[in-house]
Structure 1
Amino acid sequence: MGDTSGLETIEAAAVANGRFRYFDLVMAAFVAILLLSNVLGAGKVAQIVLPGIGPWPFGAGILFFPVSYIIGDVLTEVYGYAHARRVIWVGFAATVFMAVMAWVVVALPPAPDWTNQAAYETIFGQVPRIVFASMCAFWAGEFVNSYVLARMKVLTEGRHLWMRTIGSTIAGQAVDSLIFYPLAFWGAEGWTHALVIQVLYTQWALKVGWEVLLTPLTYWVIGALKKAEGVDVFDRATNFTPFRAKV
């Protein structure tokens, strides 16, 4: 898995204006999973029974959102930081658009004979504080994840892919969680400080655990894409500023 023998090693700057065969598809998958995790998972609190512990509630979004980090790893490892940066900005813009559209649609007055407004508000209504926290956390966490992976790839000379994917996720998800939960819930009704910290660490551990469990799949996808594209991209001279969308 993850064999890169026979591939041309190339600097990221050399493919800045190049056309990859599958980059657009990976970007579409990233944005789709990001939006679906916010729509399908964010509003539901699920529960499982853990042996020896008992019932344990968790946000259903945990099932989907970490996959965006895995795809982020694939983007950075295969296409380089600059391409991943563009995708992060596209995902951020799509999330902003979704939030605005959800607010507009929920706020529209319902027809007199349409009786589902309350249910619609429950599913699609969004608390501005949580939306703001989610956007800030996603933006910062994804960039940290991509930066750490790209720098580790150069430092390890492309070896130990598992170390890069797991290490970058540990850092990225830590930043994501440290921003989101305090911004969204610190001082909120029903949320004690201890509960915020407990949920923060729990969600971080679960997200990192997902990365570890899916490492074999990540290896396979990265290896297949590198062979299909025919290059192995290194960010040795890349401008790592997040404040640009140009590749």
Structure 2
Amino acid sequence: MRTMSDTARRPSPPAGAVFLAAVFVASLATAQLTAAKVLSFDLPFALPLAGAELALPGAALAYALTFLASDCYTELYGKRAAQVLVNVAFAMNFLVLALVWSTILAPAAPSSIDPESFELVLGASTNIVAGSLLAYVVSQNYDVVVFHRLGELTDGDHLWLRNIASTGTSQLLDTVIFVSIAFWVFPQYVGLGPELPAAAVVSLMVGQYLLKLLIAVVDTPFVYLITGAVRRYTDPAPSPAR
């Protein structure tokens, strides 16, 4: 029989791990809810394939933050722990969808906002869900493996290189899978989602990837800041080659 002293002696979860997991899951849930909106920005110059208008899914920024969190997590707690985080969070996607749709399907009170508008905004379509889930599970696991492998090859040095290389390539993989599935394969071959011309699909890929690549470069100092702060003020961290 367990006693109160046994419970008191049980080690608490590392504060850094709890913080990074919370950032990861919060960003992922936000990305799931904002993926359907397509953003558009006018540029002062034209980009190859995209032109002077930068179009990208609304989830791009929130989703990019998940790679920052997972890279920090891999650096601090190792490959195995990061894979657990990524794949448990993948299951949490379905919890988010279940909670959203249970609210959509529940009867609305007369004082409620318009139920159809609520469903239109929060009820992610099948093409978006399929594209985001497939892109997530492939690219996030790829990111963890590449970050860990680069850590082995560099003996744990050159964190900036590991962050940019792993995030830059995994974001490319994520972008191609998500945009292809959500805005081309399902609309063209399954009949779900709006059909976009090929040029618009390519423009979405370019716009989304450019933003994610920029974030991968800009967030590198934050990776150093976060991992350094966790190591200094909270819990000791294992080697990234673990």
TM-score (norm 2): 0.82
Q: Residue 88 of structure 2 aligns with which residue?
A: 90
Instruction: Provide the rounded CA distance (Å) in 1 between the counterparts of 2:39 and 2:131.
Output: 21
Comparing 196-205 with 122-131, greater Cα deviation is found at: 196-205
Instruction: Provide the rounded CA distance (Å) in 2 between the counterparts of 1:26 and 1:115.
Output: 35
Instruction: Provide the rounded CA distance (Å) in 2 between the counterparts of 1:112 and 1:225.
Output: 49
Comparing 175-184 with 224-233, greater Cα deviation is found at: 224-233
| Residue 156 of structure 1 pairs with residue 150 of structure 2 | no
Comparing 208-217 with 72-81, greater Cα deviation is found at: 208-217
**Correspondent of 1:34 among 1, 22, 28:** 28
Question: For each residue in 1:33-79, what CA deviation from the matched residue of structure 2 results, as whole angstroms up to 9, or x when unmatched?
Answer: 1112222x323333333213455333222222101100010000111
- Residues 171, 209 of structure 2: 8 Å contact kept: yes
2:99 maps to amino acid:
M
Question: For each residue in 1:132-157, what CA deviation from the matched residue of structure 2 results, as whole angstroms up to 9, or x when unmatched?
Answer: 22111111110000100001001001
Q: Residue 78 of structure 1 aligns with which residue?
A: 76
TM-score (norm 1): 0.80
5+ long unaligned stretches in structure 1:
1-16, 237-247
2:236 maps to amino acid:
G
- Residues 56, 205 of structure 2: 8 Å contact kept: no
Q: 1:173 to 1:57 in 2, by over 3 A?
A: closer
**Correspondent of 1:23 among 5, 17, 21:** 17
2:175 maps to amino acid:
S
1:133 maps to amino acid:
G
Instruction: Provide the rounded CA distance (Å) in 2 between the counterparts of 1:218 and 1:85.
Output: 18
5+ long unaligned stretches in structure 2:
1-10, 47-51, 188-193
Comparing 186-195 with 161-170, greater Cα deviation is found at: 186-195
Instruction: Let me know the Cα RMSD of the aligned residues.
Output: 2.2
Q: 1:129 to 1:226 in 2, by over 3 A?
A: same
Q: Tell me the CA shift for residue 232 of structure 1.
A: 4.2
Instruction: Provide the rounded CA distance (Å) in 2 between the counterparts of 1:167 and 1:226.
Output: 23
Instruction: Provide the rounded CA distance (Å) in 2 between the counterparts of 1:38 and 1:231.
Output: 30
**Correspondent of 1:230 among 213, 220, 236:** 236
